[in-house]
């Protein structure tokens, strides 16, 4: 659990070559956070993925109540 993150969705994991693991995720932020707080949350999330062996992660940040732009998300 990461402070400032209300929810997550559209989480995907895959491997590029059987050794390098990558991921993508949408993080739903709670409240109206500024750039510094959002950047700190992104860094915490990246560190969590790295500790789990994910060498590259793409993180999309969303505000609570914002509609996801992906169809059926």
pLDDT at 69 over 80: no
pTM (whole model) above 0.75: yes
- What is the model's pLDDT at position 72? 64
Nearest to 38 by CA among 56, 69, 61: 61
* 65/63 Cα distance (integer angstroms): 6
Average pLDDT of the residues in 43-71 = 89
Q: For the CA atoms of 57, 62, 66, 72, what is the dihedral angle to 10 degrees?
A: 0
The chain-wide mean pLDDT, for the chain, equals 91
Average pLDDT of the residues in 32-51 = 94
Average pLDDT of the residues in 38-48 = 96
**Which has more confidence, 1 or 30?**
30
């Amino acid at each position: 659990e990461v402070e400032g993150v209300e929810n997550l969705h559209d989480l995907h994991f895959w491997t590029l070559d059987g050794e390098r693991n990558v991921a993508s995720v949408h993080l739903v932020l709670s409240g109206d956070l500024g750039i510094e707080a959002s950047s700190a949350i992104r860094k915490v999330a990246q560190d969590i993925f790295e500790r789990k062996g994910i060498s590259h992660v793409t993180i999309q940040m969303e505000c609570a109540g914002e509609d996801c732009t992906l169809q059926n998300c």
